[in-house]
Structure formats: structure tokens, C-alpha cells
Amino acid sequence: MSGALKEVRNRIKSVQSTQQITKAMKMVSAAKLRRAQDAITQMRPYAQKLQEMLSNIVSNGDGDVNMALAAERPVENVMIIVVTSDRGLCGGYNSNLIKLAKQVIAEKYPDQAAKGKVQILPIGKKGYENFTKGGFKVVNQYWDIFTGLSFDKVQTAAKHAMDAFANKDVDAVELIYSEFKNAATQRFVAEQFLPVSKVAKTEGQKNADFIFEPDKNILIAELMPKILNTQLFKATLDANASEHGARMTAMDKASDNANELLKSLKISYNRARQAAITTELTEIVSGAAALQG
């Protein structure tokens, strides 16, 4: 029986050690989440207004305006930008993003995928590893952007996608990321990055009236890439906050599960201990009775 007691004691110590780790990781993620949440909260209204303005400009653009990044053409080659995390232990966060990306490919671009004309631009180590192992054509220069996340780093990835579209190497670019809602909730999003989408007009709606200074062509050529850079940066900030929120929630649940397991193990330990004591008492009583006999 002593062997069984020792085994249960060892399991209790192991679970307690694991629980200390999960509690520490939850605290670290909570601290990082506050900073990441502040960053995306400040960025989101600015990015949304820029996106609205860009869509309006594209919708109201005249035929003589050069809008290479808004050109719609038959889709033969596709690029999917997938924003995951570098590290795991954040529940189903990464697996849900990868699943969504594969779902978009299967439902929206099955013919292109069958011809090998879908390429993945992963941001984040987990997505890079998964799609590389899965045999996809992968752009491997930008997966480590979260190591020292900055606008300049994100801008290089956005420029790669824009150059590929402008040069007609790809005809559509999709963006897959997690939109941060709160620490416990993330919304997994698939949206069109290129060509720039137009605003759907309702009947009787007037065109937005913009005054362009300097020339419209010059301004749009400068403005459009900058706004797209901002959109991708917003997506990475969303993803960064979502990752920390998902990890904090996962570690909190892991700590709760450890508590439940500890309760069960302590009950098992007490039962085994009582059984051992009962056995020892029975042996003592039996020995005493034998001596008296």
C-alpha cells in the first residue's frame, strides 16, 4: 500500500508544480494583454476611418484615375495572409485560424488550389510551420514579425503582397486573422485585402465628395499603399491582443482543472492512507490475538 501512497503523493506534487506554471503564465499574459489591448483600442478607430475613406475613393474613382491596387480581374493566382502566433499554449487560437484559412481555400479557391496557384504568406511561427509541413507554397520572409512587432516590419509584408498584386503575380489577396473583442472572446476573420473593395451603395446614395490636393492620381498613388499598410498593422495588433487573451483564458482554465484534479487526488490519497492504517491495525490485532491464544 505504501507504493500506492507514494505514487499518489508524486502525482499531487506534479500537478501542484504544473499549476504554479499555469498561474504564472496567466499573470504574464494578463500583463501583456493590457499593453496589447491599449494598442489595438487606440489604433482601431483610425484604421477603420482610413479603410472607409479608401473604399469611398475607390467606389467614386473616375476611369482616368490609376488604381492598380483596386483592379478587379479573373482570379488565377491567390495569396492568403494568415496571422497566427509564435507560441502555443493558447487553447484553440492557432488551430482555429489555420482551419479558417483552409476553409477559405476549399470553399472560395478550390480550382486555384488544385492547380497549385495558392500561396500562403504566414505571419507567426505556428502558421508558418503548419503550412510548410502541409505542402503549401509558402512565403517565408515574414513569419517572425512578432519578434519585436513594429509598423515598419508589417509594412514590408504588406508591400510584398501589394507588389505581387500590382505585378499581376497574384489576382487576389485574402487576410485571415483574429479580431480582438475581449480577453475571453476573439472573432476569427477572413476578409479581402486586395483588390481594395468598394463600398456597396444603396439606392439614391450620393457619391462622397472629396477635394484632392495635390493631383488625384498622385494623392491616391501615395495614399492607397499607406492605408493598406495600416490595415495589415491593425490586423497584427488585433492578433497580438487576441493571442494574449486566448492564452490567459487557457491558463486560467488549466489552473481550475488542476484544482479539480488535486481535489480528486487528495481524496484518493486519503482513502489509500486510511486503507493502509486499517490494514496495519488489523495485522496488530491479529498478532495480539495470536499471542494471547
Q: Catalytic positions, please?
A: 90
Q: Residue 179 — φ and ψ, nearest 5°?
A: -85, 125
What's the full length of the chain, in residues? 293
- Dist. CA 222–CA 214, nearest whole Å: 11
- Residue 194 pairs with which residues in a beta bridge? 173
- Dist. CA 121–CA 175, nearest whole Å: 9
End-to-end CA distance of the chain: 29
Helices (H), the chain: 2-59, 93-108, 110-114, 125-133, 151-166, 216-292
Secondary structure element (H or E) that encloses residue 83, with its range? strand 78-83
Q: CB 128: neighbour CB atoms within 10 A? A: 22
**What secondary structure, in 3-state letters, does 143-194 show?**
CCCCCCCCHHHHHHHHHHHHHHHHCCCCCEEEEEEEEEEECCEEEEEEEEEE
- Dist. CA 167–CA 144, nearest whole Å: 25
Distance of alpha carbon 144 from the chain centroid: 14
- Dist. CA 281–CA 285, nearest whole Å: 6
Say which residues have a Cβ less than 8 Å from residue 239's Cβ, sequence separation at least 6: 83, 84, 85, 123, 124, 177, 178, 180
- Dist. CA 98–CA 101, nearest whole Å: 5
